[in-house]
Chains A and B, each alone.
Chain A
Amino acid sequence: MAVTLKTVVLDSEKCIGCITCMRRCPTEAIRIVNGKAKILYDKCINCGECVRSCKGGAKRPVYDSFDLVESYKYTIALPSPSLFGQFNNLDDPNYVIEGLLALGFDEVFEVGLAAELVTDCSKRLMEKKDLVRPVISTACPAVAELILLKFHELADHMLPVYAPAKIAAKLAKKQAIEKGVPADDIGIFFISPCPAKVYSLHKEEVSNEKYISGVLSQSDIYFRLVDKMNKIKNPRKLGKCGYSGLGWGSSGGESNSLGLGNYIHCSGVRNVLGLLTEMSDGKLDGADFVELNMCPGGCVGGVLNVENPFIARNRMRQLAEKMRIPPATMEDYGLDESFFIWDKQPAPSTSFRLDSDRFAAMQKLMKVEEYLKKLPGIDCGACGAPTCRCHAEDVVVSGGTLDCVKLEERK
């Protein structure tokens, strides 16, 4: 069965057809058609930038309903590190864990703990030196999609390990089965800070019935959770994640935990695009590791968060200082590298090719250049495409004629 997955849908009533989201989209995946913003899903990397920029709240991120949790007999919540930055005066992460249990989950497995294990595995892979440098982190699924869509020449730099959420799910499921819980009863739910993780886990996991049963939204669970947390007096010491895993919620946390000297970390759509562009020109060849986060400040900047990312970062830093637990190792959990490494290389997307035949693509590109000579080059967006070049390409690919207000004026 073909599964059509969407991360962001449009509330047509609220969309006024302004060009804000179209302008901000890093992959030119939005057009204004008949006065409404249309997402070209084959070019969308699910980064959430359109959700972030829409003034009218017309872009709605898609995620699973909390009600889905009830359909499983034994449920495991996977909270991401960024969740712990969402609460005022939180001085002990165990309040969040107790809160999730009070919400009805049977078990909580911190994604931060899985992140520490991913770090341990990554460290060992980095020591082997056979990875192409600089190694690019693949923890941010929007970055991974961006590379596969627009930066194919950097695909061999991608760190070939699964992201912490998937590792958390794999390990939680393994442990639950070892405890004697029937596999069919287990429902594992990741609580996501961003639509990119909702999408990637749905594509890889939920639709294939693997480890994750559903992906919830941090903002959706927030109020339910606060309500429960307020009633907790003395939380038990349940948390196993330490400062290192918690740090993954902020940009720089992953690279910091690797203990490398020569690394770069950067966050935010424009910065990430800029850095990838420079990498493809060969400019960062001295660095060992590059951590990129599509959201400003890292996962705390994801659009499914409640708190301002920089306030959340401050809280998480202070919380981490209180967490003395040293980083978990693969030995602690009896794991080896095969538990973490990709089963197969992800395939690059060909959505940006103008034609599958190179000669035909060239003919089209020549036509694009011809059109560009006519178009004003001011990228006003009135035609419904983000740039004049984009409009020219759209017309060449789909047929039709140039539709430009400036050209009309000249007539």
Chain B
Amino acid sequence: MECIKFEYDVDGENFSSAGNASESVKRTLKQMGVSPVSVRRVAIAMYEGEINMVIHAHGGKAEVEIYPDRIDIYLKDRGPGIADIDLAMKAGYSTATENIRSLGFGAGMGLPNMKKYSDEMKIDSTVGVGTTVFLRINF
């Protein structure tokens, strides 16, 4: 099926640039007339994903495919990888440094929120190689 594709680099050095990728995705969804509830779910899930890549993986890539009935998001990084995915998915668990927590990030809600706001989520991770998070949100 035809889809609209976006690809973004997520800058690993810059917290304030996180959210830039979700910005044009939100614009597109609104121009398509996707419901506000879905736009919001996409925005939060993507933002959390972008922040995760900044905190843990020095940035990465966001690839987005928008279909008439859903959005598929691939967040790909070459970071340290996740050793125990079940543990990482637990609300409140975080490996973020004290430094990052002092900025108000690293509360251990990133992955749980991404799961909460998406309909499907898959994590594919290899320690030392990187992580790909797949998110699907149906409209």
A residues lining the B interface (CB < 8 Å) = 150, 152-156, 277-278, 280-283, 348, 350, 352-356, 358-359, 361-362, 365-366, 369, 393
Give the residues in chain A near B30, CB-CB below 8 Å: 150, 152, 352-353
Known A-B contacts A281-B19, A281-B22, A282-B44; the reply to A365 vs B36 at CB < 8 A is no
Q: A153 contacts B39, CB within 8 Å?
A: yes
Is the pair B36, A362 in contact by a Cβ cutoff of 8 Å? no
Query: In this complex, what residue of B is CB-closest to A149?
Result: B30
**Smallest Cβ-Cβ distance to B67: which chain A residue:** A362
A277-B19, A281-B19, A369-B4 are known contacts. Are A358 and B32 too (CB-CB below 8 A)?
Answer: yes
Lowest 4 A-B CB distances belong to which pairs? A282-B44, A281-B47, A152-B36, A153-B40
Which residues of the partner chain A approach B26 to less than 8 Å between Cβ atoms?
280
Known: A277-B19, A280-B43, A365-B4. A353 touches B36 (CB 8 A): no
Known contacts A352-B30, A366-B4, A393-B31; 18 further A-B pairs (Cβ under 8 A): A150-B30, A152-B30, A153-B37, A153-B40, A280-B39, A281-B22, A282-B113, A283-B47, A352-B31, A358-B33, A358-B34, A361-B33, A362-B2, A362-B32, A362-B68, A365-B4, A365-B28, A369-B4
Distance between A167 CB and nearest chain B CB, rounded to angstroms: 28
Complex CA distance for A359 and B32, rounded to whole angstroms:
8
B23 within 8 A of A: yes
Counted as pairs of residues, one from A and one from B, with CB atoms less than 8 Å apart, the total is 66
Complex CA–CA separation, A277 to B46 (angstroms): 13
Residue B133 at the A interface, CB < 8 A?
Answer: no
B139: nearest chain-A partner, CB-CB: A358
Tell me if A281 and B44 are in contact (CB < 8 A).
Answer: yes
Q: Beyond A281-B19, A362-B68, is A350–B33 a contact (Cβ under 8 Å)?
A: yes
B66 at interface by CB-CB < 8 Å: yes
Residue with the highest number of chain B CB atoms closer than 10 Å, among A155, A282, A358, A359: A282
Nearest CB of A to B19, in Å = 5
A153 pairs with B43, CB closer than 8 A? yes
Residues of B within 8 A of A393 (CB): 31
Given A362-B68, A366-B2, verify A282-B32 contact (CB < 8 Å): no
The interface residues of chain B lying within 8 Å CB-to-CB of A156 are 36
- CB closest residue in chain B, given A155: B36
Per-residue CB proximity of B14-54 to A under 8 Å, as 1/0?
Answer: 00000100110010101111101101100110111000000
B68–A359 CB distance below 8 A: yes
Q: Are B40 and A358 in contact (CB under 8 A)?
A: no
26 sampled A-B residue pairs with Cβ under 8 A: A152-B36, A153-B39, A153-B40, A153-B43, A155-B36, A281-B19, A281-B22, A282-B113, A353-B33, A354-B31, A354-B32, A355-B33, A356-B33, A358-B68, A361-B31, A361-B33, A362-B4, A362-B66, A362-B68, A365-B31, A365-B32, A366-B2, A366-B4, A369-B4, A369-B5, A393-B31
| CB nearest neighbor in B for A357 | B33
A369 contacts across to B, CB distance below 8 A: 4-5
Within the complex, the shortest CB–CB distance from A346 to chain B, in Å, comes to: 14
Given contacts A281-B22, A352-B30, A366-B4, contact A153 B36 (CB under 8 A): yes
A282: which B residues are within 8 A, CB to CB? 40, 43-44, 47-48, 113
